[in-house]
Structure 1
Amino acid sequence: MTIVTDKSILLVEDEAILALYEKGQLEQGGYRVTHVTNGENAIDLILKGENPFDLILMDIDLGKGMDGTQTATQILNHKEIPIVFLSSHTEREIVRKTESITSYGYVVKNSGFTVLDASIKMAFKLFQANELTKSKKEHLETVLHSIGDGVIATDKEGNVTRINPVAEKLTGWKHEEGIGLEINRVFNIINVKTRQKVENPVEVVLKTNSIVALANHTVLIAKDGKEYQIADSGSPIKDLNGETNGVVLVFRDITEEYNVQSRIAKQANMLNNVLDAVIGTDFNQRINYWNKAAEKIFFWKEEEVLGKNLLEVLNTEYQRFSNSEVIEKVNLEGSFIGEAIQYAKNGEIRNIEVNVVLLNDESDLPTGYIFVARDISERLIALKQIKESEAKLTQIIESAMDAIISIDSSKKIILFNGAAEKMFGYDAREIIGQPLDKLIPENFRKQHDSHIDQFQKTGVSRRAMGALGEISGLRSNGEEFPIEASISQIMVNGESLFTVILRDVSVRNLSESKIQKLLIEKENILKEIHHRVKNNMSSIFTLLNLQANAQQDNAVQTVLFEAAGRIKSMIVLYDKLYHSETDNSVSIQDYFPTICQEIVSIFPKDVSIQLDIIDERVEVNAKILSSLGIILNELITNSMKHAFIEHTNASITLKITKRGQVVFLEYSDNGKGIPESVSFQNTPGFGLQLIGMLTDQIGGNISIDRVTYPKFILELPI
């Protein structure tokens, strides 16, 4: 359940009235809401970080300046935060554009608070799930890099998929160099006595599907030729179904241990400082040395065990051999290294790594044994956690419906999920290690490589690949198909790794021709609707005029004329838009002369109109013109109601000029003037209040100038 009482939402909405309504609904729903009117202010609030937000509710159309998608892109470049888009648009291309930026939700305006609230809560849940997945992945990487032993992981073909820092040091192979190579190239081991190649533990694990230990006298030859005596084991990596899909090889450098094994009896007194348990016995396995670490690990004091048979004190269960077989191997080969389970004095189980060495006297005759035991219980737990985390991560990736492909800095594929297999027709085993170009049509490869290189230089963590235009994929059968893609990059050991999420849009593209036909039908329907709406508005205007002319009460008549004027301003704009060559704008030269004449003609009083409008054509958005039409109607109505009482030769003057990117509208009449008590800050009337609100909504500024003669001046940036 998502708790909303402590959730803070940033609402980005340029419509003042809608913003007030949406903010009220959200606050009633238990959210804390901060409102801004444009993208620039939203970015500024996010970057300052003074008031942290849990989610952004973003209108797509934000008037001038940045739109919602541009604002969201800039915010996500600096901060991970769920963004839910809020719009009146339902066009597929607009929805698709938002999905390429973020996928936390798209809500159509006026869908109701229930839908909006559910979308917000779902966005919180998705964001929490994404953060959890990222945290688990980072934890897995941290564990792998913090293990003190060398770790190399391979796929089920024996090709290297991971090398941790300790393994890099011992093998001489950097992670980025070894990825995709066959294990024997990176992990080159021989027998120290025969100098013959030793069967690689990875190969043994893949054959036997079980944990195996390295043979005694195993030497690792590093890339630079340096040799290390090593010990440890290889274990199968199994998925949740128990299927082996790789091997993890854990090893450590025991060169020094190996060199001192022949002298360990003489140096026994120095071994109390080591962390490993060191136990000395005679040739009959009677204990004659027991160091402090052995006491700590097995809980037996030295005085309790001296002179006793080792097998009576410690119940040892080796993984692949019996106790007698281990002693036999030591007698023949001189030493044995392997893993075992032992029981401490209190019955606790210890997973240990055992190194048994045969001791010889100066005549090279056997005199006893040295048992070196290391408690590896915690290491095995860590390895188990790694395997479980990797299995969970793999399950998440494999369950994704979109294709997920990761590549290294050389653009070779290192991850290929099940959806990618279905999309491209390749099995992951055959495509891992191959160049990404294999999945891209030849005519796109150079452009695609350039895009990735440029993306790497930006340092941005994620982005859509729409900059490439239409992106195409190449199936195994040679078929090209359209795809949508987003790409992210992370740095691992100084190397950039890229992950691409792909979606096959073939079916969608096939539908586009049908959509185009539907759009044509829609356009014809809209024309018919426009005709009917215009007729209906004209009918309303006519009814208001008829009703006004039938009234005896002047006050009622004036109210009806005011309403008719507002309707008339809309009719004029609607007609101009219908005949306009542009989609959603009309020039002021076409609009204002007509609307002035139409509104004045509503009232019975004879008033002349003086127009002074610039010659330069200025196209203005219909949304702004609608507000200007209502503002002009209110000004003319006020003149008709108050300025021309008992006045002859009445006239109204409208002057429109343009300086830079600002249009100035000056309105005045030759009536009795504007009283000093009247202002936009102190007015009881609805008309001036409405003018002030509409002016704020379109981003303008209106004032009353009484210096030369009373007039209203409206400044409008365009």
Structure 2
Amino acid sequence: MTVVADKSILLVEDEAILAMFEKNQLEQGGYLVTHVSNGENAIHLVIREEKPFDLILMDIDLGRGLDGTQTATEILNYKEIPVVFLSSHTEREIVKKTETITSYGYVVKNSGFTVLDASIKMAFKLFEANELTKSKKEHLETVLHSIGDGVIATDSEGKVIRMNPVAEKLTGWTHDDAEGHNIREVFKIVNVKTRSLVENPVDIVLRTNSIVGLANHTVLLSKDGSEYQISDSGSPIKDLNGDTRGVVLVFRDITAEYNVQSHIAKQANMLNNVLDAVIGTDFNHRINYWNKAAEKIYLWKAEEVMGKSVFEVLKTDYLQLTSDQVIERVNTDGSFIGEVIQFAKDGNIRNIEVNQVLLNDESELPIGYIAVGRDISERLNAMKQIRESEAKLTQIIESAMDAIISIDQSKKIILFNGAAEKMFGYESFEIIGQALDRLIPLDFRNQHDNHIDSFSKTGVSRRAMGALGQIRGLRSNGEEFPLEASISQISVKGEKLFTVILRDVSVRNLAESKIQKLLHEKENILKEIHHRVKNNMSSIFTLLTLQARSQTETSTQTILYEAAGRVKSMIVLYDKLYHSATDNTVSLQDYFPAIFEEIVNIFPKKIELKMDILQEPIELNAKLLSSLGIILNELITNSMKHAFNEITKAQICLKIFREEKKLYLEYSDNGPGIPESISIEHSPGFGLQLIGMLVDQIEGKISIVRNPIPKFLLELSL
């Protein structure tokens, strides 16, 4: 369960007012929130200062500089952290762009805190699940590479798909060289006496669908010419439905044990250094040797078991044979190799691989038995984990919503998942081994073959969904339909294998056609909406003004006039934009005189205005002008509240001038001045706090100049 109280969030949002609102909501929800207004500051905190954030809530549009997707990409290249995108955009291409960067969520602004909170918590859960999966996979790989036995995994056709280092050493094949080869080529075994080939245990498992052990006297012929006396077992890899998807072959070198069987009684002291349990008995099965490894595995001390029957000390389950049958085989063949279950002194089960041999004296007369046992409990657990991992991978492929198809170099289908079956109308057994052309319309086959051949020559490992454009598929009923595809390639022993992920976009294409029609209709609706929005904003302004004039308390009046001024700044900007000949920009000379007079005229007090605005035409974007309009409103309101209480002839001055690439806005009044205790950075009032945030949002600088004339000076870069 994700605990909210200790989760820290980095909020990257360039809209100051929205940032205040979102930060407040998240903190009320129990999160620790840090806010920055641009991508560069976010990268500085996460990468340079290495602040330990648990999640990043990222606005896509961050104004000038890096946008949200660029910022997220740079951060994710440095560290693993969940990123949830927050945007007012719902266009498909923008949402799709974020999916190529991270998959932890995309929240549309104004969806409400419930949706945002649920998306954040889901991102935490997904991130925790991904970390757990990664940890488990690394653990499985560590186990596979650390066990002392050789392990080879094959597919259902007996082709090698995985080998551990011990298997590489014994077979003489590297993993890369062996991958894709039939197990009979890599794991070549013969009878030690006749030198005839022994049936491969993988073939037996695939034929019988059961666990098998290797026959006695088996030798592994290594690729480098070496020979190893081995013991092994093969087990089927089954998916969640119980179907066999391959085989795990586990084997070990028992050459040393095999060679010392005839001498083990004379060299018993040397066997205390081996890791396998070595037990010697006379011909009546009474124990006469018990090495240190046997003490460690079975927990019986040597002095406790000497002279006792081995059947009295160890309860043994031979799985498929009885004890009498095993003894008969040892007496007849000279040895028995297999897996057994034995109980230690404390009653716990031990999975043992045992090599039991008949011990002869110098005259070749039988005098007893030697049993060499290896605890394979850890190996069996590793095999189980491997089988479960294979089953999970199969389940992931089968549960995918997109069709997944793999082909070999000759373009024959070798993988066809459940989604592909539904999409094309074929069962996998019908299509495996068939040419890929069967799924492609006749007039498109040559072009499609050229696509694959061209991609094969590029050396690129994969191309993302949609990079090939739209292609066409052919269902079993003859219906053609549009597809969007991604493709990847790998090389196995010089042969290239291709995998495509396909998505049926026929429904989407119909939807896009409808969207185009709706967009035309919405253009007409927007014209009507503009008229209504303007009227509604004017109504709000009028109501706020009337309400202010009806109040008797000055503080309440000021608050209402202040709110009316903010609305008026938006009305003026909105009207200028509507009549502007350019796209989303308004002339500074057109906007500021109008908004200056409109805001001042809201207040009942008679104010003399002095404006000195440069004549050079300057076009500014609406987002910047909106922030400047609110800043101007706050400065005028501040003057009305504090500057003219004892002034009869009130005056406000606004000067806008330019120096090189800097634009300056100078605001002053003829009031008593600004107290030394007041500053933009340390103001208790909401107005100056809002000014500070808005100036930061537009990447400007504001200062209070007290001499010779008190004034506010705002600096902007053009």
Quickly name the TM-score band, shorter chain normalised. 0.7 to 0.9
Whole-Å separation in 2 of the counterparts to 1:573 and 1:421: 57
Indicate conservation of the 8 Å contact 1:417/1:428, yes or no. Answer: no
Q: Which residue of 2 aligns with 1:465?
A: 464
How far does residue 505 in structure 1 lie from its aligned partner after superposition?
4.4
Superposition pairs of residues 176-191 of structure 1, within 5 angstroms: 176-191=176-191
Summarize deviations over 1:337-385 as a string: whole Å, max 9, x none.
2222345566654432222333445555555443322233343234334
How far does residue 446 in structure 1 lie from its aligned partner after superposition?
6.8
Report whether the alignment pairs 1:169 with 2:203.
Answer: no
Q: Which residue of 1 aligns with 2:72?
A: 72
Q: Which residue of 2 aligns with 1:612?
A: 614
Indicate conservation of the 8 Å contact 1:471/1:482, yes or no. Answer: yes
| 1:659 alignment partner AA | E
Q: Which residue of 2 aligns with 1:30?
A: 30
Q: Out of 110-119 and 521-530, give the one that drifted further.
A: 110-119
Residue number among 678, 681, 692 corresponding to 2:679 in the alignment:
681
Q: Which residue of 2 aligns with 1:135?
A: 135
Whole-Å separation in 1 of the counterparts to 2:658 and 2:102: 44
Indicate conservation of the 8 Å contact 1:485/1:503, yes or no. Answer: no
Q: Which residue of 1 aligns with 2:145?
A: 145
Superposition pairs of residues 183-262 of structure 1, within 5 angstroms: 183-262=183-262
Summarize deviations over 1:316-339 as a string: whole Å, max 9, x none.
443444444444444444333222
Distance 1:163 1:592, change over 3 A: same
Distance 1:242 1:75, change over 3 A: same
Q: Which residue of 2 aligns with 1:376?
A: 376
Distance 1:80 1:565, change over 3 A: closer
Indicate conservation of the 8 Å contact 2:466/2:486, yes or no. Answer: no
| 1:465 alignment partner AA | A
Whole-Å separation in 1 of the counterparts to 2:694 and 2:347: 84
Superposition pairs of residues 665-704 of structure 1, within 5 angstroms: 665=665, 673=670, 675-677=672-674, 681=679, 694-703=694-703
Q: Which residue of 1 aligns with 2:493?
A: none
Q: Which residue of 2 aligns with 1:273?
A: 273
SS state at 2:144 partner: helix
| 2:142 alignment partner AA | T
User: What value does the CA root-mean-square deviation take over the aligned residues?
Assistant: 5.0
| 1:254 alignment partner AA | I
Superposition pairs of residues 513-662 of structure 1, within 5 angstroms: 513-537=513-537, 569-580=569-580, 582-588=582-588, 591-592=591-592, 611-615=613-617, 618=619, 620-631=620-631, 654-657=655-658, 659-660=660-661, 662=662
Indicate conservation of the 8 Å contact 1:214/1:232, yes or no. Answer: yes
How far does residue 200 in structure 1 lie from its aligned partner after superposition?
0.4
Summarize deviations over 1:79-116 as a string: whole Å, max 9, x none.
22222222333334333333332232233333333332
SS state at 1:33 partner: strand
Indicate conservation of the 8 Å contact 1:426/1:476, yes or no. Answer: no
Indicate conservation of the 8 Å contact 2:465/2:484, yes or no. Answer: no
Distance 1:7 1:368, change over 3 A: same
Distance 1:99 1:224, change over 3 A: same
Q: Which residue of 2 aligns with 1:492?
A: none
Indicate conservation of the 8 Å contact 2:466/2:484, yes or no. Answer: no
How far does residue 132 in structure 1 lie from its aligned partner after superposition?
1.9
Distance 1:126 1:432, change over 3 A: farther
Whole-Å separation in 1 of the counterparts to 2:649 and 2:349: 110
Indicate conservation of the 8 Å contact 2:607/2:649, yes or no. Answer: no
Q: Out of 506-515 and 304-313, give the one that drifted further.
A: 304-313
Q: Out of 250-259 and 473-482, give the one that drifted further.
A: 473-482
Distance 1:287 1:559, change over 3 A: closer
Whole-Å separation in 2 of the counterparts to 1:590 and 1:536: 23
Whole-Å separation in 1 of the counterparts to 2:563 and 2:289: 108
SS state at 2:354 partner: strand
Indicate conservation of the 8 Å contact 2:201/2:214, yes or no. Answer: yes
| 1:698 alignment partner AA | I
Whole-Å separation in 1 of the counterparts to 2:35 and 2:395: 41
Summarize deviations over 1:240-280 as a string: whole Å, max 9, x none.
33332221110001122222223333323433333333334
Report whether the alignment pairs 1:715 with 2:700.
Answer: no
Q: Which residue of 2 aligns with 1:159?
A: 159
SS state at 1:613 partner: coil
| 1:213 alignment partner AA | G
Distance 1:552 1:394, change over 3 A: closer
Indicate conservation of the 8 Å contact 1:448/1:468, yes or no. Answer: no
Q: Out of 361-370 and 473-482, give the one that drifted further.
A: 473-482
Whole-Å separation in 1 of the counterparts to 2:390 and 2:41: 42
Superposition pairs of residues 488-499 of structure 1, within 5 angstroms: none
Distance 1:595 1:432, change over 3 A: farther
Whole-Å separation in 2 of the counterparts to 1:381 and 1:653: 80
Whole-Å separation in 1 of the counterparts to 2:341 and 2:563: 93
In the superposition, the TM-score normalised over structure 1's length comes to 0.79
| 2:73 alignment partner AA | T
Q: Which residue of 2 aligns with 1:11?
A: 11
Whole-Å separation in 1 of the counterparts to 2:284 and 2:686: 110
Superposition pairs of residues 293-372 of structure 1, within 5 angstroms: 293-298=293-298, 314-343=314-343, 349-372=349-372
Indicate conservation of the 8 Å contact 1:403/1:501, yes or no. Answer: yes
How far does residue 73 in structure 1 lie from its aligned partner after superposition?
1.9
Q: Which residue of 1 aligns with 2:109?
A: 109
How many pairs are equivalent? Answer: 692
Superposition pairs of residues 401-420 of structure 1, within 5 angstroms: 401-402=401-402, 418-419=418-419
How far does residue 27 in structure 1 lie from its aligned partner after superposition?
2.1
Whole-Å separation in 1 of the counterparts to 2:129 and 2:545: 62
Indicate conservation of the 8 Å contact 1:421/1:428, yes or no. Answer: no
Report whether the alignment pairs 1:511 with 2:514.
Answer: no
SS state at 1:151 partner: strand
Whole-Å separation in 2 of the counterparts to 1:507 and 1:197: 58
Whole-Å separation in 2 of the counterparts to 1:554 and 1:301: 97
Q: Which residue of 1 aligns with 2:46?
A: 46
SS state at 2:628 partner: helix
Indicate conservation of the 8 Å contact 2:407/2:499, yes or no. Answer: yes
Distance 1:14 1:195, change over 3 A: same
Summarize deviations over 1:466-491 as a string: whole Å, max 9, x none.
794747697797978544769999xx
How far does residue 230 in structure 1 lie from its aligned partner after superposition?
0.9
| 1:621 alignment partner AA | N
| 2:616 alignment partner AA | I
The percent of aligned pairs where both chains have the same amino acid is 69
How far does residue 56 in structure 1 lie from its aligned partner after superposition?
1.8
SS state at 1:66 partner: coil
Report whether the alignment pairs 1:96 with 2:93.
Answer: no
Indicate conservation of the 8 Å contact 1:484/1:505, yes or no. Answer: no
Whole-Å separation in 1 of the counterparts to 2:570 and 2:157: 73
Indicate conservation of the 8 Å contact 1:597/1:609, yes or no. Answer: no
Q: Out of 107-116 and 537-546, give the one that drifted further.
A: 537-546
| 1:187 alignment partner AA | F
Unaligned 5+ residue runs, structure 2? 441-446, 491-496
Summarize deviations over 1:51-95 as a string: whole Å, max 9, x none.
412222222232222222222222222222222222333334333
| 2:84 alignment partner AA | V
Q: Which residue of 1 aligns with 2:664?
A: 664
| 1:52 alignment partner AA | P
Distance 1:39 1:449, change over 3 A: farther
Indicate conservation of the 8 Å contact 2:656/2:663, yes or no. Answer: no
SS state at 1:263 partner: coil
